[in-house]
Homo-oligomer: A and B are copies of this chain.
Amino acid sequence: MVFPQVDAQPERSRALDQLRRSIETFVSLPEEVWAEVQKPWHLRPVRRGEQLTLEGEMESTFSLIVVGVQRLYFTTPDGDEHTVAFVYPPDYSGVPDSLFLQVPSAYGLDALSDGVILATGRNRLLELMERHRELDRWAWRLFASALAGRLKRERELLTLTAQERYERLLRESPQILQLAPLRHVASYLGMSPETLSRARAAQL
């Protein structure tokens, strides 16, 4: 038996639990701070193919992915799309440097599947950060670890062959191969779809 009308509340609170856990991987929040922090978030469903951010646009919302997969990409002047990240729970979605530094986003963000995000507006988030310094700490740790992640990727792109990059993905994030079309995976790995296809054949 399903009661969708009473289900909405538990869903939000499950999402908030996720948010809390993800904030608390970096800083611990006293109860009274958490009570404030949880207020301005709302659930929002996302449809497959939906554009959450356009390249060149100012990013104005910050969100946690509750369900679904999204993809961060950019487009070259001659129209090739390059995927730079796949994002899925419990990642944050949104283009952080655009959001926090108030510059137009150099990246687009779209949904690869239906999903749900827990979102809040830029200004609400900045207000929260203003009032609770735990969140300032959370922010720098979050950025520091995002930076570390990009450095790791840079390193792999510079030093590994296409075959090795594929095998590393297979070891470290095999779920991505289920979640995203291979042509996006190829672009994420910095190779053509044909090369990815051959790397897969070589492996098995």
Contacts and interface: CB of A to CB of B under 8 A. Distances in A.
A138 to B, nearest CB: 9
A122 interface: no
Contacts of A146: 143, 147
How many chain copies?
2
A139 B129 CA distance: 13
Interface of A: 74, 76, 80, 82, 84, 96-97, 100-101, 103, 106-107, 133, 136-137, 139-148, 150-155, 157-159, 190
A139 B26 CA distance: 15
A100 B141 contact: yes
Given A136-B137, A140-B136, A140-B140, A97 B147 contact: yes
A154 B174 CA distance: 23
A107 B148 CA distance: 11
Contact of A144 (B97, B133, B145, B155): B97
A192 to B, nearest CB: 12
A158 B82 contact: yes
A66 to B, nearest CB: 24
